[in-house]
Amino acid sequence: MEIIFSEDCLDYSYFGHIETSERVKIASEILEKMGYSFVEPEPVSEEDLLLVHSTNWVERVKRGGFFDADTPGSKNIYRYANLSAGGALLAANVKGFSLLRPPGHHAGKNGRALGASTLGFCYFNNMAIAVKHLNQRTLILDIDGHHGNGTQEIFTGYPKVTYISLHLVPEFPGTGLTSEINCFNYPLPPGTGDKLYLKTLDKALDHVDMKNIEIIGISAGFDAHQGDLASLDLTSNCFREIGKRVRDLGIEVFGVLEGGYSGGNIASDLHHLIQGLERS
């Protein structure tokens, strides 16, 4: 599986902010040493952004005004966010993994989604943009430790998408406590661990009619790793097992980085996930 990456995203940082470029810098260096090949993305068109977001929101990100304490603005934020969306779109096209930032699954059509207090480091919903562009029957599997409230808001009732999220509660953004129409939420307690997590994932996947799915997009947040920001006490081996379960479905898959705040863990967890996806 090719890794979609651009060093341009390393310029996107705010002093003292937890959403730092250091996490993907470290991860990319480790993965390069492991022998992964990297592919450079292009920014998406504004037309692609408008498949998901309102004109007002796209224009606001262009202006780079202040958004909130978690998700600040800058004069270049549109370029970084647009490039990250481009990484997701390329990953979907080549069935690769986008290791770009900023992340996206908290961004709704008009910014903040489902009443969340902040944007949670997200500007454009990278996964949603890729899925809307593909226009295929898609299962989005969100394994970030936080609920993807933006992705759910965008796709609730959308006939071509099934959304599954396994996430920590209580935790930001405080959504995803129940399922709705085509969006299936599995809130999990602190200290969940690999065994209960995988049991829950099996249950979630069993409820989906895979004959109706053409492609799977993994919103891969690695902040559910032991000791990370939304820890569910998962090990790297759990991500390999997640990959195996997705591989066994026999459906094409791509992935997009969401959370994960230790570069070393991101590299290890992503490597294990890809091993599970690729090995028979």
> Please, what's the b/e burial string for 207-224 (b: 16 or more CB within 10 A of its CB; e: otherwise)?
ebeeeebebbbbbbbbbb
Neighbours of 15 (CB within 10 A): 5
Distance from C-alpha of 134 to C-alpha of 268, rounded to nearest angstrom: 29
Q: Which two tokens stand for residue 198?
A: 């995988």
Residues acting as catalytic residues: 106
pTM: 0.96
Q: What pLDDT score does 280 carry?
A: 55
Residue spans of the domains in the chain: they are 3-278
- Tallying the residues shown for the chain, one arrives at 280
What is the chain's pLDDT, residue by residue, as a tens digit (280 residues)?
Answer: 999 999 998 887 776 777 778 889 999 999 999 999 999 999 999 999 999 999 999 999 999 888 898 898 877 899 999 999 999 999 999 999 999 999 999 999 999 999 899 999 999 999 999 999 999 999 999 999 999 999 999 999 999 999 999 999 999 999 999 999 999 999 999 999 999 999 999 999 999 999 999 999 999 999 999 999 999 999 999 999 999 999 999 999 999 999 998 889 999 999 999 999 997 5
* 96 and 256 Cβ atoms separated by less than 8 Å: no
Q: Which CATH architecture has domain 3-278?
A: 3-Layer(aba) Sandwich (3.40)
Name the residue with tokens 């990959």.
243
